[in-house]
């Protein structure tokens, strides 16, 4: 078990302070080998510095976590492996999206 | 003949201006023999019969005119009365019909449109008209009855230059207008033009508030960044994913300093929402859900297969697409289909007085606090839904005030979002 840092602040620049797009979320998850780390039970720390990142769209979060939720299914299991190092606003944003995704993926199990 | 010589030291702008002037001089008095149309224009006190080339619009606008040709009228005068009703939110039919008539009259060289003020200017409607009619403006006169316009509205109207990318910052308004290129390169990553424009728009609002509050250190709360960027990002993400043949989307962010309201208008030509939901490659699961919806509608006599039904299949499908987890790409990933409802929720969580107008095909949907997002157990799980009725039940008849058939077909999607930001300077947003 290792600890992996994913710094989302690197995705913005002086001209862009928004992280958005489902496909961008999916590609970032792939680039950071998030699913492999999840399968390996590694701890993943997601860092967001609100001085540079002003908004993250829900679609990006859903794209980033879609394969994670298809593997782990529940929010509690995701919370065991993922830590969000950001201000309250972004922590609430991730939490809100995880709740929506949990409803989607746990429902898929029951069918 | 006066002629402007282009000199070596002239910059690009001067060269362009001189070329344009020289061309206009050489065109003077020329008879356009390829045109069958002839109009009279008053010139130095005399009437000269000259022939002018007919206006040709962009391919998509021509298609819009052609699709709706039968709806246009032939009045002797084209007068646009700007009032409360003349807005995409309140009466999209009126706006789209006026737009069609303006385009038709310009093409047939009939009358010059006249714009008069009748109490209220809806920025979104005027912007859309200006944006789609810019080719008329280049070649034909627009008569604007400025006498009745209040000074601030006059300034807003005169600043509209939506044909070209523009930024306006004056005492009445801030506006950013851009035709945004959709980068479809698989390695595009964060390199999408709309993201930098979203930053420009929030920077613009922040500057406006700093001026209003006389406080240079004021920074916009993250909730506002979230709502505005969600409105822009989710819509452009939809264009990227669903309107696969569309190369550009038009984005305008307008901040009215007097009312402290931000209006974001995004439109694109391409597939309508209903067309996306009836494509051949739609997952079976989606067909099942559409079947369940229509069976329920039919049972309750909300919709039937007969022509002329008040509530059409397209209306039903467009409303259906707004619900959580509804997407033509659901087969790829079950967490898709949340973009629109996410952005609407973000805007309403910022201000309950938010107003959203969605126009696609012949369907116009408006969302306000009267019919907010609710939750319903439907299609096998609890979902966020926009039912547009008092029962908050997507299987019941939606309120006719909130969804209607405009009768005018817009080949694409228009979304106008108006968010009041009054009060944020006091921290009680």
- Tell me the pLDDT tens digit for each residue of B128-161: 888 887 767 666 666 677 777 888 887 777 777 6
Tokens of B95: 């706006």
Q: Residue B228: is its pLDDT beyond 60?
A: yes
Q: Residue B74: is its pLDDT beyond 80?
A: no
Q: Residue A48: is its pLDDT beyond 90?
A: yes
- Which among A14, A3, A63, A34 is positioned nearest to B189, based on CA atoms? A63
| Residues of chain A contacting B195 with CB distance shorter than 8 Å | 16, 18, 20
How would you class B205 by CB atoms within 10 Å of its CB: exposed for 0-12, middle for 13-18, buried for 19 or more?
A: buried
In sequence order, which residues have a C-beta less than 8 Å from that of residue B354 and are 6 or more positions away?
Answer: B347, B348, B368, B369, B417, B418, B419, B420
Confidence of residue B321 (pLDDT cuts 50, 70, 90): very high
Chain A positions contacting chain B at CB under 8 Å are 11-13, 15-24, 27, 50, 54-55, 57-59, 62, 65-66, 69, 87, 89-90, 93, 100-101, 103-105, 107-108, 111
Confidence of residue B246 (pLDDT cuts 50, 70, 90): confident
If you average pLDDT over residues B374-382, what whole number do you get? 89
Q: What is the mean pLDDT of chain B?
A: 82
For residue B428, the model assigns a pLDDT of 42
Angle between helices B193-213 and B222-242 (to 10 degrees): 160
For the beta carbon of residue B375, count every other beta carbon within 10 angstroms.
11
User: In this structure, are residues B359 and B413 in contact, taking their beta carbons and an 8 Å threshold?
Assistant: yes
Q: Residue B180: is its pLDDT beyond 90?
A: no
For residue B304, the model assigns a pLDDT of 61
Confidence of residue B308 (pLDDT cuts 50, 70, 90): low
Confidence of residue A29 (pLDDT cuts 50, 70, 90): very high
For residue B376, the model assigns a pLDDT of 92
Q: Return the minimum-mean-pLDDT range out of A92-106, B138-152, B280-294, B410-424.
A: B138-152
**DSSP H or E segment with residue A11:** none
User: In this structure, are residues A91 and B225 in contact, taking their beta carbons and an 8 Å threshold?
Assistant: no
Q: Residue A79: is its pLDDT beyond 80?
A: yes
Nearest beta carbon to residue B335 from set A24, A54, A62: A62
* pLDDT digit string, tens, across residues A34-45: 999 999 999 999
Q: Return the minimum-mean-pLDDT range out of B55-59, B249-253, B276-280, B422-426.
A: B422-426
Q: CA B61 to CA B51: how far, in whole Å?
A: 24
DSSP at A6: E
Q: CA B18 to CA B16: how far, in whole Å?
A: 5
- The separation between the first and the last C-alpha atoms of chain A, rounded to the nearest angstrom, is 33
DSSP at A74: S
CB–CB contact B199 A18 (8 Å): yes
Q: Residue B56: is its pLDDT beyond 60?
A: yes
Confidence of residue A77 (pLDDT cuts 50, 70, 90): very high
For residue A90, the model assigns a pLDDT of 95
Among A42-46, B232-236, B282-286, the range with the most confident prediction by mean pLDDT is A42-46
Tokens of A48: 């967001």
If you average pLDDT over residues B1-23, what whole number do you get? 87
Q: Residue B243: is its pLDDT beyond 90?
A: no
For residue B241, the model assigns a pLDDT of 81
Q: Residue B188: is its pLDDT beyond 80?
A: no
Q: Return the minimum-mean-pLDDT range out of A91-100, B51-60, B367-376.
A: B51-60
Half-sphere CA count of B167, side-chain side, radius 13 A? 6
Alpha carbon B347 to its chain's center: 18
Overall size of chain A counted in residues: 111
Q: Residue B47: is its pLDDT beyond 70?
A: no
DSSP at A16: -
* pLDDT digit string, tens, across residues A60-71: 999 999 999 999
CB–CB contact A18 B339 (8 Å): no
DSSP at A14: S
| Residues of chain A contacting B239 with CB distance shorter than 8 Å | none
User: In this structure, are residues B335 and A69 in contact, taking their beta carbons and an 8 Å threshold?
Assistant: yes
CB–CB contact A57 B234 (8 Å): yes
For residue B166, the model assigns a pLDDT of 76
More confident residue, A111 or B140: B140
Nearest beta carbon to residue A59 from set B220, B225, B234: B234
Q: CA B119 to CA A64: how far, in whole Å?
A: 48
Domain count of chain A? 1
Say if pTM beats, i.e. exceeds, 0.80: yes
| ipTM of this complex prediction, to 2 decimal places | 0.89
**Containing domain of residue A42, as a range?**
3-110
Optimal mutation site among B233, B285, B324, B341, interface A, most CBs of chain A within 10 A? B233
Q: Residue B332: is its pLDDT beyond 80?
A: no
For the beta carbon of residue A10, count every other beta carbon within 10 angstroms.
13
User: In this structure, are residues A8 and A48 in contact, taking their beta carbons and an 8 Å threshold?
Assistant: yes
Confidence of residue B247 (pLDDT cuts 50, 70, 90): confident
């Amino acid at each position: 078990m290792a600890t992996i840092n994913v710094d989302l602040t690197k995705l913005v620049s002086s001209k862009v302070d928004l992280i958005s797009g489902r496909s961008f979320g999916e590609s970032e998850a792939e680039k950071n080998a998030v699913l492999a780390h999840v399968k390996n039970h590694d701890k993943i720390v997601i860092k967001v510095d609100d001085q540079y990142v002003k908004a993250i769209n829900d679609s990006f979060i859903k794209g980033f976590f879609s394969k994670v939720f298809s593997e782990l299914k529940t929010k509690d299991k995701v919370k065991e492996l993922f830590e969000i190092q950001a201000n309250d606003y972004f922590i609430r944003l991730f939490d809100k999206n995880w709740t929506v995704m949990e409803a989607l993926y746990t429902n898929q199990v029951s069918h | 003949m006066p002629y402007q010589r282009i000199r070596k030291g002239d910059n690009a702008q001067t060269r362009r201006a001189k070329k344009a002037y020289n061309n206009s001089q050489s065109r003077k008095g020329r008879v356009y023999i390829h045109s069958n149309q002839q109009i009279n224009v008053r010139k130095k006190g005399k009437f000269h019969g000259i022939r002018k080339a007919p206006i040709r619009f962009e391919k998509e606008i021509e298609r819009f005119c052609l699709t709706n040709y039968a709806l246009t009228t032939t009045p002797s005068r084209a007068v646009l009365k700007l009032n409360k009703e003349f807005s995409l939110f309140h009466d999209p039919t009126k706006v789209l019909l006026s737009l069609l008539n303006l385009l038709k009259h310009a093409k047939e060289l009939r009358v010059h449109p006249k714009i008069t003020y009748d109490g209220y200017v809806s920025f979104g409607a005027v912007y859309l008209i200006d944006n789609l009619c810019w080719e008329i403006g280049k070649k034909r006169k627009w008569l604007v009855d400025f006498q009745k316009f209040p000074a601030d509205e006059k300034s807003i109207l005169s600043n509209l230059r939506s044909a070209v990318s523009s930024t306006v910052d004056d005492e009445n308004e801030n506006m950013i207008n851009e035709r945004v290129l959709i980068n479809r390169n698989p390695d595009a990553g964060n390199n999408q033009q709309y993201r930098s424009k979203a930053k420009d728009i929030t920077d613009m609002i922040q500057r406006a508030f700093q001026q209003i509050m006389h406080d240079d250190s004021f920074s916009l709360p993250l909730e506002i960044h979230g709502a505005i960027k969600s409105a822009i990002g989710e819509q452009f993400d939809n264009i990227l994913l669903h309107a696969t043949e569309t190369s550009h989307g038009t984005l305008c962010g307008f901040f009215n300093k007097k009312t402290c309201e931000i209006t974001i208008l995004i439109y694109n030509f391409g597939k309508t929402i209903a067309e996306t939901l009836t494509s051949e490659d739609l997952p079976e699961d989606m067909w099942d859900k559409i079947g369940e919806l229509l069976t329920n509608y039919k049972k309750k006599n909300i919709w039937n297969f007969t022509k002329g039904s008040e509530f059409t299949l397209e209306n039903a499908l467009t409303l259906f697409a707004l619900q959580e987890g509804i997407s033509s790409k659901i087969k790829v990933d079950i967490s898709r289909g949340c973009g629109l409802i996410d952005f609407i929720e973000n805007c309403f969580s910022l201000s309950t007085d938010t107003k959203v107008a969605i126009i696609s095909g012949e369907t116009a949907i408006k969302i306000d606090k009267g019919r907010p997002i609710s939750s319903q157990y439907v299609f096998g799980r609890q979902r966020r839904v926009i039912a547009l009725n008092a029962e908050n039940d997507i299987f019941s008849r939606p309120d006719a005030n909130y969804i209607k058939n405009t009768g005018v077909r817009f080949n694409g999607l228009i979304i106008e979002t108006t968010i009041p930001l009054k009060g944020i300077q006091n921290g009680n947003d």
